[in-house]
Every structure is written in structure tokens, then in C-alpha cells.
Amino acid sequence: MINPGANLLWRSSGARRGAPHRPTGSSGLARLRSTSLNNAIRITDYGIADVINSLRSATWQVPRFQREFVWDTSAIAALATSVIDAYPIGMITLWEQSDRNPLDLERLTIQDYDSRARKQVTKRFGEDAGGQKLYAILDGRQRCTALAMAFAGFTPQYGKSKYNGRYFLNAAQPDPLERIIFRKTSDLEKAGLTTSTACIAQGLFPLASDVEGESVLRQWYRYAQEIRDPQTYPGGELPDPVELKRRDSIVQSAFDGINETRLAACIVPEKYDLGQICEIFETLNLSGMKVSTVDLINSWIYRETEGEDGAEGLHIRDWVRDFGQIDGAVGWAVPERRPELIAQFVTAAFVALEREDKPKPRQVGGNRKVTTIDSIKSPDLLATPAAHWEAVVANQDQFAAFLSDFQFLVAGGHFSYDKCPYPISASIYVAIRWHKAFDPPGLHSMWNVADLNSLYRAFFWRNALATRYDQGFLTRLATDLASLKKMLRKRSNYETKSAWLHDCDAQLEAMIDPKDVPSREALIELLTDGRPGGAKQSALLLPMIAGTSRDIEGVDISLTAEGTLELHHIFPRAWCADNASGPLKAWLDKDQAGRDWVNSIANLMPLARETNNDWKTKSPRTYIETSKITIETGGEFFRSVFIGPDEFAMLTGEPEGMPSFWQGRAANIADDLLRRTRLSV
């Protein structure tokens, strides 16, 4: 029987097999309690009940513009399982708020849908008592929301939501890892499980109490009593003694876990500002769905752009999402995956501006006080003034057009940021175009966009193939932006563009060592041996991906198509496996060949999934002959994937021509890449 006045319960039961005996609060994280970092930041921990109370009283709140809750019910159940097993559940970061530099905060929220009113509504957790010290949850919103849903019954009001239901400890489940389950409210109502007593009779113990104000201790003490109360069960008949003992043991073990589990927290004091917060995230290398720099930017830009008449301010996240629908920005403005990318572009454009009336940086502090924005590091993003953001938003079509021009310049078509080697390098081009469009003519009249295009394309490809931005790219990028602008300003010193480009070539070689750019032979090696990975792989594939808008059957595989562009094997893997023991073994067996020809870029091309489903069942020769495809009818596609007449003849000839096809195609791709690295009039 539980003693409701005790701090430790059921220690003698031995229910949690293999669990070490530990005094309450003596977990490894507890030993870090109030540990000081830099004499200011401290590490502490909280029990689950403390976490729920802090959230319910709105002492802990989330930034208003942070990414909303995205976990599914299985992820919530997995976290609850970790709690009842007293396993570590990660660390959160809390920022003590002050009146000096507060964020726009709100209570925990989840999205709901009112089917009668046919509109999205927001459900908030707890009540804001007001007057208390506030802490902003900078990292840990997902976990805090999940804990409130599992252990405090935070659930949407309307039944259509996937979250509308309760979480239970299922004592009937023999596997401990599967004991936490979620049941929709509608299913519980159909089964008559609308009270905790009815649920307990079925071996289901609600993780959240349905008694208002009931403590965790009292809740589980009540469960322990109801297990052995005949009135809990239909007909007043108790389960057999063995089953009763088993359920009691499971419930006791779960309470132990809830009581012992500690949520570690990094507490950042109020004296820290936004710039320092970003530096802390970078120093601690926090992962997960923490508040991004964009969330912090969003908070203060919204406040600074709110109208005195109550008009709403600028929502950066919402704008980035809308901006991503404009031609040129599609696949680049993706706040869910890389929220800071467009913010870096905006700041790069600010760096490139030279006009005298350029707005002053916003003062955000940090260890590096920003007085002049000259890079695109986090403090610089935060210091970028609201007036500049408003200028970009007002000229968003032109901003997107610059991004579109970049894509066509370097690769001949649209592509998404995740297909680009070092997508941040695009910010240099966009920034210089912004400088050309919005600075006084006297600052850039000595060069035109065609001059920039010749210079930038060579820079982009040398930089990408040399994998120069693998380390320290934020610092290098700012220097590169300044260097390219300096080269452009010298254009008027030369009578001909050729003479100017000759000088630019020497300066580019000083920036990017020619020995770091792979030779033709080195590129062919890379193209014929598996996939090299990283930025180098992206660079090798980019011209083919961007240049192919329709596959061999004419199916749309462009960036704006509904499907996803996929790379598939030209000589299908199954076909290669079937022929690996014959005369082609020296090429198809990677151990004998000393390289992986089959999975190399030389054996890949973009196809729609439905096209590949047919292609992969045949040899290339059989497919092409059956479909009556010729080099003339498929000319545009074959050119975009670097299959010329000679390679087409090998593709449709005898299987023995396969090695020559791979070698010839790799040479075509290598020649194209090297052509792009050259400065041309």
C-alpha cells in the first residue's frame, strides 16, 4: 500500500527489473544542479510535476513565432515511456526574461480545428497568472508540449484533431516498451472508458489525472487503491491474485519512474541578449527544434514594425513561407527545413549596400558587439535593421528574380537549395545584384550584370569543386563578397572585357588555389566510383539535375512538378547483378574492378518514378527499342544528361559497350564542369 506522505514509494517491490536503487533526485543530472557555466549560465533539473506546474502556471512560455508542435502521438508515447522507465529525456534551454529585452511569449499551444465554424483554432495550456517571473523555452518546446499532453491531459477540444485523446499505461501489455498507448477520445467514448475507474478495470491507467488539482502522488496512490477495490470491476469481481500483483507491480514501477525522472535545464540569465543567445546555441551545439535565429529575428522585427494603430507587424516566418511560392524562390525559402537561409540572403544584401543613407545596425549585443554588419553570422542576422527587411519584402519579386537568375547562371535551370553545393554561396550573387539595383549608379556604373555573370559563374564552380566552404564558410563568404565587388569596380580600368577577365582569373586563382580544383582526370575518377557524398557530389550532379525538366518519356520532373526528382540507374542494378558473373564481371564486380561503377554518377540519370518502374525491368537497349526512342526524338533529354550520339550508340548496342558508355559519359560531365569554371566573355 502506498504511503501518501512518503517521497519514495515501493522500493522493496523490485518491480523494475535491472533498475538501480537510487535515492530520489540523485540522478546523474541532479549532480549538475546549479552548476555554473561561465559564472552565469547554470545547469539544473526539474521533476516532471515541477515541469507541468511551470507550464500550467505559464511561468515557462514559448516564443510566439517559434515552430508549432509537430510530434506525432507515437513520439509522445515514446517520451512517456522514457519517463516511466526513468531514462534521460534530454536538456531544455530556458532564458530568464526581463523588461529590458523581452521576447513575445505565449503559453504552450497546439492547433485544433472547429469543424462547425470550419476554421483553425489554437488550444492553450494552463492559465497566465500574471506577475510571475517568466522563462522563455528556447530549446525544448516539443518535449514540454509532449509532457503536458501525456501527463497533464493537454488535448485539443475538437475530435477531428489527431491529438484528441489520452495516454495510458497499459498493464495488460507484456512488453515494457509498448506499455504507453494513445487512445482517441471518440474510441474511449464508444468503449465506455470515460472515467479513470472504468479504464483501470481494463488495465489502463491514465497518465494524466482526471481529478482537477490532484497531485501526481495522490493520483497514483488512488490508482493503487482502485486496483484492489472490487467496486472498480464489473460485477465486483477482482482479477486473480497473480494478475493483481502483476498490475500493482507495473503501476508501482511507473510511479517510481515519474518520481525519479529529471528534466535537465540550461538556465540563461536575463542579462544575456539575443546576440549572446545565438552564440550560446552555437557553442553548446544544441540540436533538435530549438528556437532558431529566425525565431528571434521574428520576435523583435514584429514588435518594431507594428503600427501605432494596432496594425500587425512583419511576420518573418510567414513571409519566408509565402516568398517560397514565388518563381525563383521555390525550393529555397523553406522555413521548416532551413529557416535561416533566406535571413542570410537578406543580411548579405545589406552587407553589399554602400549608400550613405543605409540604415544603422540594430544593437543586439553579444560577445561580438555589432557596430558594422560585415558578415552573415548569427549576430549580424540579428543586427540587420527592420528597415532593410521591409525593403526586401517590398521588392520581393525582384529579390526572387535575382535568386532565379543565379540558378540559371550556374546550372541552366531551377533547382532547390538542397541540390546546391553550398547554397549559402548564392547569397553573394543575390547581394551583388541587390547592390546593383538599389545603390546609387555612381557606385556600380563601371560594370554590368553580364560582367558579374562571367565572374561569378567561374567563382561558384571553382569554389564548389574545391569544396572550399567545407570549413569556416561564413567568414570566407564575407571576404569573397568584398573581393568580387572589388574586381567588378576595376572593370572600367580595362578597354576590353577579355583583358579584365584575364586579371580576374589571376585574382580568382589567388582566392582559390587551382590545385584544389579537380583536374579532368580527377573528375572522371569521382564520376565513375560510387558517390563521393557532400558538396562535391552535389556539384557533380547539379548541371544534370537543373538542366533536366522532363524525363525520357516526357514526364515533368522540374522543380515545380508534383513529384520529386529522383536519380535512377541507367544500367539497372538488377540487370548488373544478373550479368556480374559473365564477361562484364571485371566492371560490375566492384571488388574486381577496384571501384563501384554500378552506383557511380556515370550510371545515374533523373527519371520519374513511374518511368523507372518500367526502365529498371529491362536493359537500356530493350527499353529504348521497345519505346521506339531515337537520339533525335529524345535529343533534349539526352543532351541534358550528357548522353551524346556516341554514348547513345553504346547504350543501344551490345552489353560489352557498357564500360565505354560510362567512360564517355563521365568525360562529357567532366568537360562540362571544367567549362563552367572558366571565365568567358
Predicted pLDDT at 9: 28
Tell whether the model's pLDDT for residue 35 goes beyond 50.
Answer: no
Tell whether the model's pLDDT for residue 11 goes beyond 50.
Answer: no
Among the candidates 516, 541, 576, a domain finishes at 516
Q: Considering only CA atoms, which of 255, 263, 247, 264 is closest in space to residue 8?
A: 255
Tell me the pLDDT tens digit for each residue of 181-201. 999 999 999 999 999 999 999
Specify the amino acid at residue 414. H
Residue 1 domain flag? no
Residues 2, 12 contacting (CB under 8 angstroms)? no
- Backbone dihedral angles phi then psi of residue 93, each to the nearest 5 degrees: -120, 125
Q: Considering only CA atoms, which of 437, 512, 504 is closest in space to residue 469?
A: 512
Query: Which is higher by pLDDT, 1 or 419?
Result: 419
C-alpha cell at 27: 540522478
| Three-state DSSP class for residue 112 | strand
Mean pLDDT of the chain: 87
Predicted pLDDT at 469: 93
Predicted pLDDT at 302: 83
Identify the burial level of 461 via C-beta atoms within 10 angstroms of its C-beta, where 0-12 means exposed, 13-18 middle and 19 or more buried.
buried
Q: How confident is the model at residue 291 (pLDDT cuts 50, 70, 90)?
A: low
Tell whether the model's pLDDT for residue 477 goes beyond 60.
Answer: yes
Task: Please report, rounded to a whole number, the percentage of residues in the chain having pLDDT higher than 70.
Answer: 89
Q: How confident is the model at residue 459 (pLDDT cuts 50, 70, 90)?
A: very high
C-alpha distances in Å from residue 436, one per residue of 377, 439, 487: 23, 6, 14
Instruction: Give the sheet arrangement for strand 35-37, strand by strand.
Output: 35-37, 41-47, 262-268, 91-96, 135-139, 60-63, 105-106
Average pLDDT of the segment spanning 623-637? 93
Structural domain that includes position 594: 520-677
Strands 566-569 and 60-63: unpaired
Q: How confident is the model at residue 125 (pLDDT cuts 50, 70, 90)?
A: very high
Residue 24 domain flag? no
Residue 563 domain flag? yes
Count how many Cα atoms sit within 13 Å of the Cα of residue 519 in the half-sphere of its side chain: 3
Task: Please report, rounded to a whole number, the percentage of residues in the chain having pLDDT higher than 90.
Answer: 64
- My answer on whether 192 and 324 are in the same domain is no
Tell whether the model's pLDDT for residue 408 goes beyond 80.
Answer: yes
Q: How confident is the model at residue 313 (pLDDT cuts 50, 70, 90)?
A: confident
Predicted pLDDT at 668: 98
Number of domains in the chain: 3
- My answer on whether 353 and 471 are in the same domain is yes
Residue 282 domain flag? no
Q: Considering only CA atoms, which of 613, 645, 612 is closest in space to residue 630?
A: 645
Average pLDDT of the segment spanning 589-597? 91
Residue 232 domain flag? yes
Alpha-helical segments (H) within 324-465: 340-352, 378-383, 386-394, 396-411, 426-438, 449-465
- My answer on whether 171 and 44 are in the same domain is yes
Predicted pLDDT at 175: 83
Predicted pLDDT at 523: 98
Cell 514559448 belongs to 62
Instruction: Mean pLDDT check: name the lowest of 323-327, 585-589, 675-679.
Output: 585-589
Query: Which is higher by pLDDT, 634 or 540?
Result: 540
C-alpha cell at 444: 556600380
Among the candidates 472, 494, 516, a domain finishes at 516
Tell whether the model's pLDDT for residue 30 goes beyond 60.
Answer: no
Alpha carbons 498 and 68: distance in angstroms, whole number: 54
- My answer on whether 488 and 563 are in the same domain is no
- My answer on whether 500 and 534 are in the same domain is no
Tell me the pLDDT tens digit for each residue of 342-396. 999 999 999 999 999 999 998 765 545 557 898 998 888 989 999 999 999 999 9
- My answer on whether 58 and 166 are in the same domain is yes
Identify the burial level of 533 via C-beta atoms within 10 angstroms of its C-beta, where 0-12 means exposed, 13-18 middle and 19 or more buried.
exposed
| Three-state DSSP class for residue 448 | coil
- My answer on whether 152 and 208 are in the same domain is yes
Average pLDDT of the segment spanning 77-87? 92
Average pLDDT of the segment spanning 274-286? 64
- My answer on whether 511 and 525 are in the same domain is no
Q: How confident is the model at residue 338 (pLDDT cuts 50, 70, 90)?
A: confident
Tell whether the model's pLDDT for residue 487 goes beyond 80.
Answer: yes
Predicted pLDDT at 162: 85
Predicted pLDDT at 31: 34
- My answer on whether 495 and 528 are in the same domain is no
- My answer on whether 144 and 233 are in the same domain is yes
- My answer on whether 356 and 211 are in the same domain is no
Q: How confident is the model at residue 310 (pLDDT cuts 50, 70, 90)?
A: low
Q: Considering only CA atoms, which of 203, 202, 168 is closest in space to residue 185?
A: 168
Predicted pLDDT at 100: 62
Among the candidates 460, 484, 516, a domain finishes at 516
Predicted pLDDT at 292: 66
Predicted pLDDT at 105: 87
Residue 137 domain flag? yes
Residue 222 domain flag? yes
- My answer on whether 542 and 655 are in the same domain is yes
Residue 243 domain flag? yes
Instruction: Mean pLDDT check: name the lowest of 84-98, 407-421, 552-566.
Output: 552-566
